[in-house]
Amino acid sequence: MGKSYFGTDGIRGKTNAGVMTAAVAMKVGQAAGRRFLRGDHRHRVVIGKDTRLSGYMLESAMVAGFTSVGMDVILLGPMPTPAVALLTREMRADVGVMISASHNPYEDNGIKLFGPDGFKLSDEDELAIEAMLGEELPLAPSADIGRARRIDDARGRYIHAVKSSLPDSIRLDGLKIVVDCANGAAYQVAPSAFWELGAEIVAVGVSPNGKNINDKVGSTHLDLVQETVVASGADIGIALDGDADRLIVVDEQGQIVDGDQLMALIGSQWADQGRLAGGGVVATVMSNLGLERFLQGRGLNLVRTKVGDRHVLEAMRSGGYNVGGEQSGHMILLDHATTGDGTVAALQVLAALVRSGKRASELLHLFDPVPQLLKNVRFGGGKPLDDNRVKAVIADAEAALAGKGRLVIRPSGTEPVIRVMAEGDDAGDVEAAVSAICAAVAEAAA
């Protein structure tokens, strides 16, 4: 049975419409609460959120849902997604909730759920919760309704955990760092963590007003951090997204360092230190061929998964890997976090900078990406990829790129779009392959 509410990263949508209303949020709280009422102890849930205006509404609705089935609620306030995962485990909560739509604009919001181990829920748990959303659920007796309270030390707990991911010998004294928090969940904790380790901080994207999250700031809008790094003479720029589980870096010249380069750096450095588990790194099908070749040159392997940090994490856990991520900046370091954590990953990058004594531009560009091109083809219905003409064009493109490139063609999971990506050593071959396939798909869909 497929899912109607949960996508690849929780429940997400435009607020006050569809699946993202206060009524649905309350029902999710009731269903998740019932799912995790296990044993006779006093049950608790921790709830964090990013800085979206709708966070207040959804937070209140979920408090009502959880308390109505007998769960106590601990409210963290604005906190990164990885902080919620951490505190779910550290505070022995039965379930954790992050209210966020990540890098989406403020009009959207989402609900991410974590189990007591701090990991995102399994398909089995999500399907069980979905099944309960259409049912009339039993409520707690009046005497057993849950209580809700806010805690004041959540930020301090997370900052301490983040700093503890570095050895005591590593300090950031003398580094000037631009930190762009996307007017999102990390606007307080990330600059504080870097500053407490000795860095000079230039903070941008730290003035949330409910509507400016991810608005021309953060890891998906890099102009501001690039300009600020160059103008301020900073050593490096750190750009997070709205819930701070993504990281993109900018070197001192304003050049972008994406998730592939960061995985190359952390993976190779951890291998040199004897810390890398699994003999390689886990990434998605979208990671550049240059990363794969770089790792192979170091005797390391690259395991590829479907798009989505959830799939990366599943492969990491099943294969015994501790470094994984996405080109878009999700960085999962299982030695330190149970989900993507941009701040923790940034500290690994900064530690490498300190140890090397090099400039960021010298250290962080470890391989030359091969030409890569992604185009989307919108279609009205049917299955264009099943058309024999499309199959023939794809086969011709695969033959043309054989041994010197690759194709990734996949339907979007959220909209009627076919995504066509090619990469290879020759930019002309890449352009020709993508153009031919897109034309064939468009014709088949007409």
Asked if 34 and 83 sit in the same domain, the reply is yes
**Are the beta carbons of 33 and 95 closer than 8 angstroms?**
yes
Q: What is the pLDDT of residue 445?
A: 81
Q: What is the pTM of this model?
A: 0.93
Q: What is the pLDDT of residue 63?
A: 98
Burial class (CB in 10 A: 0-12, 13-18, 19+), 2: exposed
240's tokens: 């997070």
Q: What is the pLDDT of residue 411?
A: 86
Can you give the pLDDT of all 446 residues of the chain as single tens digits? 568 899 878 999 999 999 999 999 999 999 999 999 988 899 999 999 999 999 999 999 999 999 999 999 999 999 999 999 999 999 999 999 999 999 999 999 999 999 999 999 999 999 999 999 999 999 999 999 999 999 999 999 999 999 999 999 999 999 999 999 999 999 999 999 999 999 999 999 999 999 999 999 999 999 999 999 999 999 999 999 999 999 999 999 999 999 999 999 999 999 999 999 999 999 999 999 999 999 999 999 999 999 889 999 999 999 999 999 999 999 999 999 999 999 999 999 999 999 999 999 999 999 999 999 999 998 887 788 999 999 999 999 999 998 899 999 988 766 788 999 999 999 999 999 999 999 999 988 87
| 102 a catalytic residue | yes
- Which one of the listed residues 54, 100, 102, 328 is annotated catalytic? 102
Domain-terminating residue out of 313, 332, 363:
363
Question: Residue 68: left (phi > 0), alpha (psi -120 to 50), or beta?
Answer: alpha
Flag whether 400 is in a domain: yes
Flag whether 158 is in a domain: no
Asked if 328 and 182 sit in the same domain, the reply is yes
Asked if 205 and 330 sit in the same domain, the reply is yes
Q: How far, rounded to the nearest angstrom, does the alpha carbon of residue 202 sit from its chain's CA centroid?
A: 24
Q: What is the pLDDT of residue 414?
A: 66
Asked if 216 and 145 sit in the same domain, the reply is no
Flag whether 224 is in a domain: yes
Flag whether 418 is in a domain: yes
Q: Which domain holds residue 147?
A: 6-153
Q: What is the pLDDT of residue 416?
A: 84
How far apart CA 260 and CA 255 sit, in angstroms, is: 14
**Are the beta carbons of 249 and 177 closer than 8 angstroms?**
no
Domain-terminating residue out of 125, 153, 181:
153
Our count of domains for the chain comes to 3
377's tokens: 């083809």
Flag whether 162 is in a domain: no
State the first-to-last Cα distance of the chain, in angstroms, to the nearest integer: 31
Q: What is the pLDDT of residue 89?
A: 97
Flag whether 159 is in a domain: no
